[in-house]
């Protein structure tokens, strides 16, 4: 039986159009803004203008159904579109498929009531509102949502939920119109995964407070600390079912982790291209850098890693698109792509030498951004634990490791 990894003609045409749009329309604007030291507001205005062009190119909102103004492509198509879009830092924003909004759009699409979809999902899709996802807390382990301390209590007389808690590293919180907040509603429920619920909270609700934008090694990038003090929302503000917050989070984060991987592949590919370009043009110690074995090994290692990253993401996307179990494959991809991104960008910096360490190229900023990939949406060690647990369960239950190895047979 033949294995064909080529994209269907319509998706390949979409990939090529995305590449042409990003390279011809988006990157020149981004490069100019970076060169001018533009403020954040300048980038926002540029994104608004470029989104109109994205609509003209029929690239806007690729991941959403057509009834919400999207292109309606599935995870496999998004794998290639996202990788192409991420060749520019603002590329995903221009197509309106950036985190955390992309994941929130899918969450609202699958769990929202018709009223919630019209009130919150449609403005996200139309691009005049943004959102955030508030789960991580400073007091407890971010990788174990069963420990969440933010709590919501039902005021029966008022028909409202009252939410109190503390969140941080809430990406996109500043400027978001609403948040999806995970809070404990049933502290004694068993199993512990049934204790949390998800709420839609407009950010202009009294008691919602942005404490600060948490500074990271890459600067301030709207990863905020939030306090919720007697935040009141109506009883129908629950997204999904009561006690379904953990399930909703897992449904959201699985594909969202893969979406991160898709974008990281685009960044890794740009870094490798820069590495090769520099090595083939730089003469030192009697030959071009590209003729030196040590540099060739960097190229080879990076090419092998990028190749395996693409195969992992495509396979995981295929399983999601076809309704097959995908958690193991997403953990494979999340761990491998995050670490490959770090290594590939680091090698590109090394080949560029002091130039790569400077801000004259985007590599220094790319390296800073790459570091968070190894703990965002599940730290390396958590995914390794998940992978090992699935390996053990597969062997114990069936006497075979096939289910833990992608159900691939050779």
Strand partners, 151: 164, 184
Say which residue the tokens 């985007």 belong to: 362
| Tokens linked to 267 | 């960044």
What domain range is 108 assigned to? 9-112
pLDDT at 402 over 70: yes
Considering the domain architecture, whether residues 210 and 307 belong to the same structural domain is answered as: no
Contact 140, 148 (CB under 8 A): yes
Burial class (CB in 10 A: 0-12, 13-18, 19+), 38: middle
The residue with greater pLDDT, 253 or 296, is 296
Considering the domain architecture, whether residues 207 and 299 belong to the same structural domain is answered as: no
Digit-coded pLDDT (tens) for 309-332: 999 999 999 999 999 999 999 999
Spatial separation of the C-alpha atoms in residues 181 and 120, rounded to whole Å = 14
The reply to whether 244 falls in a domain is no
Strand partners, 202: 178
Digit-coded pLDDT (tens) for 99-152: 999 999 999 999 999 999 999 999 999 999 999 999 999 998 677 888 999 999
What is the number of domains present in the chain? 3
Average pLDDT over residues 337-346: 98
Considering the domain architecture, whether residues 14 and 88 belong to the same structural domain is answered as: yes
Considering the domain architecture, whether residues 398 and 294 belong to the same structural domain is answered as: yes
Considering the domain architecture, whether residues 298 and 336 belong to the same structural domain is answered as: yes
Considering the domain architecture, whether residues 222 and 305 belong to the same structural domain is answered as: no
Considering the domain architecture, whether residues 15 and 86 belong to the same structural domain is answered as: yes
User: Residue 316's domain is classified under what CATH number?
Assistant: 1.20.140.10
Number of residues in the chain? 410
Q: Which of 44-48, 70-74, 245-249 has the lowest mean pLDDT?
A: 245-249
Domain boundary (112, 147, 176) is at: 112
Considering the domain architecture, whether residues 257 and 401 belong to the same structural domain is answered as: yes
User: Residue 93's domain is classified under what CATH number?
Assistant: 1.10.540.10
């Amino acid at each position: 039986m033949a294995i064909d990894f080529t994209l269907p003609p319509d998706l390949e045409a979409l990939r090529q159009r995305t590449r042409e749009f990003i390279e011809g329309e988006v990157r020149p604007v981004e490069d100019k803004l970076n060169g001018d030291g533009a403020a954040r507001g300048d980038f926002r205005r540029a994104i608004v203008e470029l989104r109109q062009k994205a609509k003209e190119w029929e690239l806007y909102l690729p991941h959403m159904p057509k009834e919400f103004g999207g292109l309606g492509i599935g995870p496999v198509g998004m794998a290639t579109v996202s990788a192409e879009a991420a060749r520019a830092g603002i590329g995903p924003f221009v197509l309106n498929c950036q985190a955390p909004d992309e994941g929130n759009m899918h969450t609202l699409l699958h769990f929202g009531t018709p009223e919630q979809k019209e009130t919150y999902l449609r403005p996200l899709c139309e691009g005049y509102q943004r959102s955030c996802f508030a789960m991580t807390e400073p007091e407890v382990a971010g990788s174990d949502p069963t420990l969440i301390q933010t709590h919501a209590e039902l005021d029966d007389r008022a028909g409202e939920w009252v939410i109190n808690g503390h969140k941080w590293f809430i990406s996109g919180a500043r400027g978001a119109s609403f948040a999806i907040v995970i809070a404990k509603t049933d502290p004694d429920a068993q199993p512990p995964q049934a204790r949390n619920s998800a709420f839609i909270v407009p950010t202009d609700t009294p008691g919602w407070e942005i404490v600060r934008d948490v500074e990271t090694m890459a600067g301030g990038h709207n990863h905020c600390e939030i306090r919720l003090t007697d935040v009141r929302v109506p009883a129908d503000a629950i997204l999904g079912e009561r006690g379904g917050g953990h399930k909703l989070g897992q449904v959201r984060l699985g594909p969202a982790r893969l979406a991160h991987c898709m974008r990281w592949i685009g960044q890794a590919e740009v870094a490798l291209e820069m590495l090769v370009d520099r090595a083939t043009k730089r003469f030192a110690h009697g030959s071009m850098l590209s003729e030196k074995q040590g540099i060739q090994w960097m190229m080879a290692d990076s090419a092998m890693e990028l190749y395996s990253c693409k195969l992992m993401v495509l396979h995981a996307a295929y399983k999601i698109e076809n309704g097959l179990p995908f958690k193991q494959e997403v953990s494979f991809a999340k761990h491998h792509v995050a670490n490959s991104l770090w290594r590939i960008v680091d090698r590109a910096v090394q080949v560029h030498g002091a130039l790569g360490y400077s801000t004259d190229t985007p590599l220094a900023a790319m390296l800073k951004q790459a570091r968070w990939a190894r703990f965002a949406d599940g730290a390396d060690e958590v995914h390794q634990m998940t992978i090992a647990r699935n390996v053990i369960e597969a062997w114990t239950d069936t006497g075979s490791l096939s289910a833990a190895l992608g159900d691939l047979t050779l």
